[in-house]
Amino acid sequence: MQKPRFNKDQMVSSTQASKRFSEVRKKAKSEPIFILDHNEVDSIILSYDEFEQMHDELITLRETVQDYQTAERLREAEANNDQSISLIEGLSEERYNRIQNMNRKTVLDEDLFE
């Protein structure tokens, strides 16, 4: 896996970060700031907007992977001439459990048929 790249201006020691937190926070609104502890990246400060975007992308990626895995399971069943496949076989166990635990009264029709 490729590690994130950052420049020298984005690195701040933990001591500097604590002494100049307001300045570091302000700078983090435009680019992530990497907090160093003993010359190793320990933490990252980033804007909430950037965090929210990363979070949304991660959720989308997880859903895409789950959809791909479901499609692969269905293709395998079809290739094996298995005409019947249970829901749990088609979905990942995590997704199956999430569906089983879903409060059906709170799911909107438009969410079901997007």
Can you give the pLDDT at residue 25? 95
Enumerate the domain spans of the chain. Answer: 10-46, 50-112
Tokens of 71: 């499609």
pLDDT in tens, 51-63: 999 999 999 898 8
Q: Span 65-72, mean pLDDT?
A: 80
Cα separation, 93 vs 18, whole angstroms: 44
Cα separation, 74 vs 15, whole angstroms: 54
Cα separation, 22 vs 34, whole angstroms: 15
